[in-house]
Amino acid sequence: MDMEMQQFKSDFFKALAHPLRIRILEILAEGDKSVNEIQQLAESEGSSVSQQLTVLRSKNIVTGSKEGNRVIYSLRDPMIIELLDVARKIFNNQLSETITILDRLSEGEKVE
- Which pLDDT tens digits describe the chain residue by residue (112 residues)? 789 999 988 999 999 999 999 999 999 999 999 999 999 999 998 799 999 999 999 999 999 999 999 999 999 999 999 999 998 899 888 888 888 888 888 887 666 6
DSSP string, 9-48: HHHHHHHH-SHHHHHHHHHHHT--EEHHHHHHHHT--HHH
DSSP 111: -
Give the per-residue pLDDT at 22.
96
User: How far, CA to CA in Å, does 62 sit from each of 22, 46, 49, 67, 94?
Assistant: 12, 17, 13, 16, 29
List the chain domain ranges: 2-76, 78-112
Give the per-residue pLDDT at 107.
83
Q: Full-prediction pTM beyond 0.85?
A: no
Tell me, which fold does domain 2-76 have in CATH?
A: Arc Repressor Mutant, subunit A (1.10.10)
Note whether 25 and 80 are within 8 A (CB).
Answer: yes
Distance CA 44, CA 20 (A): 8
Give the per-residue pLDDT at 75.
97
Give the per-residue pLDDT at 27.
97
